[in-house]
Amino acid sequence: MKKDLVVLFYPKTEPDNIYRNLPISILKLASQVIASGYRVRVVDSRIEEDYEPVIRQIAGETLCFGVSAMTGFQINHGIKASEIAKRINHDIPVVWGGWHASLLPSQTLENDFIDIAVIGQGERTLSELLGVLANGGDFKNISGIAFKDQNGAVIQNTCRRFEDIDNFAPVNFEAINIDKYINESELGKRTISWNTSQGCPFCCGFCCTPVLYGRNWASLSVERILGEIETLISRFNVDSILFAEDNFFTNRERVSAICTEIVKRKLKFHWSTDGRIDQILRLEPELFSLLNESGCHKIYLGAESGDQDVLNLIDKKIKREDTYKAVDLLGRHNIKAELFLMVGFPLNPKKDLNETLKMISGIKRNYPNHQATPFLYTPYPGTKLFDLAKNYGLRPPGSLRAWGNWSLLAPISPWIDKSYLDRVNRLVKFYLPFAYPSDSLRKRMEKGVSGYFYRIMHRIAKFRIEKNILIFPIEWQVVKFIYYKVMLRYNIFKNLSVPR
Ligand code: SF4
């Protein structure tokens, strides 16, 4: 019997995946595979944690075992699943795609359990690859892949040209159990992540997107986007959508057309998306009205840093003041802003942390409803900043397995020492959430005995952040001790929670 089953494995993204967003890239690949005449079984290890029996059960009929992984934690479970598949049947072709395999295809293929790496957009490449696996042919004729020849040598074919995503198969809503990825969020009771475009024409020095798609950008047609939104609302009862895009606002006419159609078709839902600061500053008042009318609730802004030297280094093409202007503009149009910020760049990590904290407290003082959280900058291979990071002493991992430890949470950059990391941890987990409380923490501050505790912590944290006095974090030590060692242990104040 001819094998026709394609397994698409999505590895866990964190040790503890509480929020499971839809793996959109996997859904789109699965739709393409079905449209090409094959069966698909998606295994999302965040949902099917015990995936070994599943792989074991379907190994006999598997034509191809695909894994999509980003650099970092996903690699660990990706390797584990590939190993399981190979140990059951050594002849199953294991194909890796996604960020990491695209960035480092040759090193990915050094792993014994992986046969082929797909580079960049996967839809067309995977269809052609399945044709060769099912019917025979030569891998050398498939652009956009790297593979091992019979002697184990890695051969990398020519790159595949970026293709208009409207050419790819329509989303097949049966390919994945969509209901499992609908979560409650600040947008609504039934929120789903979705996607309408791919790529980005910009080239920020820390970002992998231009490396993956060569600074190309493509959108689905407005008709197709609206059709998908209508299906999500009517069939899955979705009341809110997070458009998780590389760059939603690349084309203003497109945004305007999407919003106009949402309003015209009377589709009632809240939505949020990402935006570049300079793009937001260029939006006309009429477009803001349309954003409001169509239900736009929040925009995630790539502010990146409060330090102008860092903004110049990463070629962000904005001034620090632009961030304040964009936040102000969104606030005036009743749209929430959440700033993506990074700290710990190699030039002067202490300075960029201080400047970024100044930006956060400046924004929170004037716009308490907007959000801003700093993450630790992590250098990714292939990006412009990666070479600079190597000049500052970064030693990239020498194997795929070692890249599995590459993480936002671990100190991997030699210019970051433990005290810096501890300081960022304290800020993110304790001082910033207490200094600028979320709506839920604000409510708790008003209630009973625990309310006193929250109010005291709020005052101390705010004072420390605004005066930039972060040495001797006694209250953090005390709270950690009381909360983790006493309260949790003896189950005191069950409802009291400390941001972790
Ligand atoms: S950070 Fe955003 S704007 Fe910059 S290259 Fe990446 S996707 Fe494009």
Pocket of ligand 1 contains residue 246 by CB under 6 Å: yes
Residue minimizing CA distance to atom 6 of ligand 1: 207
- Spacing, Cα 202 to ligand 1 middle (Å): 6
- Alpha-carbon 268 to chain mean position: 26
Give which of 48, 140, 124, 63 is closest to 94, Cα–Cα.
63
Q: Model ipTM?
A: 0.99
Give pLDDT, residue 470.
Answer: 84
Pocket of ligand 1 contains residue 201 by CB under 6 Å: no
- Spacing, Cα 266 to ligand 1 middle (Å): 32
Pocket of ligand 1 contains residue 202 by CB under 6 Å: yes
Best mutation site among 195, 197, 200 for ligand 1 pocket (most ligand atoms within 8 Å of CB) = 200
Give which of 303, 383, 380 is closest to 343, Cα–Cα.
303
Give pLDDT, residue 476.
Answer: 86
- Spacing, Cα 247 to ligand 1 middle (Å): 7
Give pLDDT, residue 221.
Answer: 98
| Residue 247 CA, closest ligand 1 atom number | 7
What is the dihedral angle through the alpha carbons of 64, 65, 66, 71, rounded to the nearest 10 degrees?
-150
Best mutation site among 195, 207, 299, 318 for ligand 1 pocket (most ligand atoms within 8 Å of CB) = 207
Pocket of ligand 1 contains residue 275 by CB under 6 Å: no
Give pLDDT, residue 408.
Answer: 57
| Residue 200 CA, closest ligand 1 atom number | 8
- Spacing, Cα 207 to ligand 1 middle (Å): 6
Pocket of ligand 1 contains residue 441 by CB under 6 Å: no
Pocket of ligand 1 contains residue 200 by CB under 6 Å: yes
Best mutation site among 195, 204, 316, 383 for ligand 1 pocket (most ligand atoms within 8 Å of CB) = 204
Are 115 and 96 in contact by the 8 Å Cβ rule? The answer is no
The rounded distance, in Å, linking the Cα atoms of 439 and 427 is 19
Pocket of ligand 1 contains residue 210 by CB under 6 Å: yes
Best mutation site among 195, 197, 213, 247 for ligand 1 pocket (most ligand atoms within 8 Å of CB) = 247
- Spacing, Cα 314 to ligand 1 middle (Å): 10
- Spacing, Cα 276 to ligand 1 middle (Å): 8
The rounded distance, in Å, linking the Cα atoms of 54 and 330 is 47
Are 319 and 308 in contact by the 8 Å Cβ rule? The answer is yes
- Spacing, Cα 179 to ligand 1 middle (Å): 30
Amino acid at position 141, single letter: N
- Spacing, Cα 200 to ligand 1 middle (Å): 6
Pocket of ligand 1 contains residue 279 by CB under 6 Å: no
| Residue 207 CA, closest ligand 1 atom number | 6
For tokens 């009862």, name the residue. 237
**Which residues share a beta bridge with 43?**
9
Give pLDDT, residue 410.
Answer: 61
Q: Which helix (H) or strand (E) holds 360?
A: helix 349-366
| Residue 304 CA, closest ligand 1 atom number | 1
- Spacing, Cα 470 to ligand 1 middle (Å): 32
Give pLDDT, residue 344.
Answer: 95
For tokens 């309408």, name the residue. 196
Give pLDDT, residue 498.
Answer: 44
Q: Give Dmax over CA atoms of the chain in angstroms.
A: 72
Are 101 and 147 in contact by the 8 Å Cβ rule? The answer is no
| Residue 246 CA, closest ligand 1 atom number | 7
Query: What is the full DSSP assignment across 268-308?
Result: --EEEEEE-HHHHHT--HHHHHHHHHTTEEEEEEEEE-S-H
List, in order, residues 6 or more apart from 448 with CB less than 8 Å away. none
List, in order, residues 6 or more apart from 363 with CB less than 8 Å away. 323, 324, 327, 339, 370, 372
Block means of pLDDT (10 residues each) for the chain, length 500 residues? 92 82 97 98 95 92 96 94 95 96 97 97 98 96 96 95 97 97 95 97 96 96 98 98 96 98 98 97 97 98 97 97 97 96 96 95 90 91 93 94 79 85 88 86 80 87 88 85 64 45
Best mutation site among 208, 209, 281 for ligand 1 pocket (most ligand atoms within 8 Å of CB) = 209
Domains and CATH numbers, the chain: 5-156 (3.40.50.2300), 182-377 (3.20.20.70), 417-500 (no CATH)
Give pLDDT, residue 16.
Answer: 76
Give pLDDT, residue 497.
Answer: 44
| 443 phi/psi in degrees, rounded to 5 | -65, -40
| Residue 210 CA, closest ligand 1 atom number | 5
Amino acid at position 75, single letter: I
The rounded distance, in Å, linking the Cα atoms of 354 and 468 is 8
Residue minimizing CA distance to atom 4 of ligand 1: 204
Please state whether beta strands 197-199 and 39-44 pair in parallel, antiparallel, or not at all (unpaired). unpaired
Q: What angle do CA 57, 62, 63 make, to 5 degrees?
A: 175
- Spacing, Cα 322 to ligand 1 middle (Å): 16
Q: What angle do CA 246, 247, 252 make, to 5 degrees?
A: 160
Q: How many residues belong to the chain?
A: 500
